[in-house]
């Protein structure tokens, strides 16, 4: 029997939570769930030898201000805070141009971050590009024209002090030209659109 994807999605957050618990228990930590810390409740709490760790499972449905409040309570109680992503995405990746993910990331990190990413919080940045899917690849004499889709892993700072950070994946579409010299690189970006709608749901 093959498990249907809709059931995997339905219980994905619990699967991630169970994995987190198992990982920390394997390290010798005492682990409890739904731990009350001040006025907030953390998904998972782990403690060993005086070290206390709050672990929150991040989903698009949760109030983004919760993470900042938990970070504040963690500081006041001498605990660390960690965030674990639990957004389920069923993707099968393939790449037709070697290292295109790094070429695209290099272009973005040279001051070409989209406005939609900047609007998510303080000092947001795209840390990784993955799961590239090309729609069109047209090899011409002076450049290669490519269009397609990818996933962007974005680090979002929820406060100006950068104490509370989360990482979230967002789908993106690209339409660009790759120049040949001196190495393969983006010479013109017609469009790079990151869909951040999931962050606000």
Same domain, residue pair 25 and 52: yes
- Most confident range (mean pLDDT) of 43-52, 108-117, 164-173 is 43-52
What is the DSSP pairing of strand 185-194 with strand 40-48?
unpaired
Region 149-162: what's the mean pLDDT? 78
Q: Is the C-alpha dihedral spanning 91, 65, 72, 36 positive or negative?
A: negative
Q: Which of 85, 116, 134 corresponds to the end of one domain? A: 85
CB contact at 8 A, 38 and 55: no
Please tell me the distance from the alpha carbon of residue 40 to that of residue 102, in angstroms, as a whole number: 40
DSSP 42: E
CB of 26 within 8 A of CB of 13? no
For position 170, what pLDDT does the model report?
Answer: 87
- The residue range of the domain holding 74 is 5-85
- What does DSSP say about strands 51-58 and 80-85: parallel, antiparallel, or unpaired? parallel
pLDDT at 60: 65
**pLDDT surpasses 70 at 161:** no
Return the CATH number at 144.
3.10.450
Q: What is the pLDDT of residue 88?
A: 65
Clarify whether residues 28 and 118 are in a common domain.
no
Read off the pLDDT of residues 100-138 as tens digits, 9 standing for 90 and up: 999 999 998 888 878 877 677 667 788 899 999 888 877
Quote the number of domains for the chain.
2
Q: Mark whether 193 and 104 lie in a shared domain.
A: yes
**Interval 71-106: pLDDT, tens:** 888 888 888 887 777 766 654 444 458 889 999 999
């Amino acid at each position: 029997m093959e498990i249907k994807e809709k059931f995997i999605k339905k219980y994905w957050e619990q699967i991630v939570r169970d994995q987190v618990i198992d990982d920390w228990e394997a390290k010798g930590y005492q682990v409890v769930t739904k731990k009350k810390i001040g006025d907030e409740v953390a998904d998972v709490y782990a403690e060993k030898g005086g070290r206390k760790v709050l672990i929150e499972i991040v989903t698009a449905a949760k109030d983004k201000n919760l993470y900042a409040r938990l970070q504040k309570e963690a500081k006041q109680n001498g605990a660390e805070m960690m965030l674990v992503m639990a957004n389920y995405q069923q993707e099968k990746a393939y790449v037709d141009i070697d290292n295109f993910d790094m070429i695209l990331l290099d272009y973005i990190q040279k001051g070409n971050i989209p406005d939609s990413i900047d609007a998510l919080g303080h000092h947001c940045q795209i840390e990784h590009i993955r799961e590239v899917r090309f729609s069109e690849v047209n090899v011409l004499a002076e450049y290669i024209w490519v269009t397609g889709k990818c996933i962007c892993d974005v680090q979002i700072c929820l406060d100006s002090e950068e104490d509370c950070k989360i990482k979230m994946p967002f789908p993106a579409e690209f339409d660009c030209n790759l120049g040949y010299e001196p190495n393969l690189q983006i010479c013109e970006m017609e469009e790079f659109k990151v869909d951040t709608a999931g962050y606000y749901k």
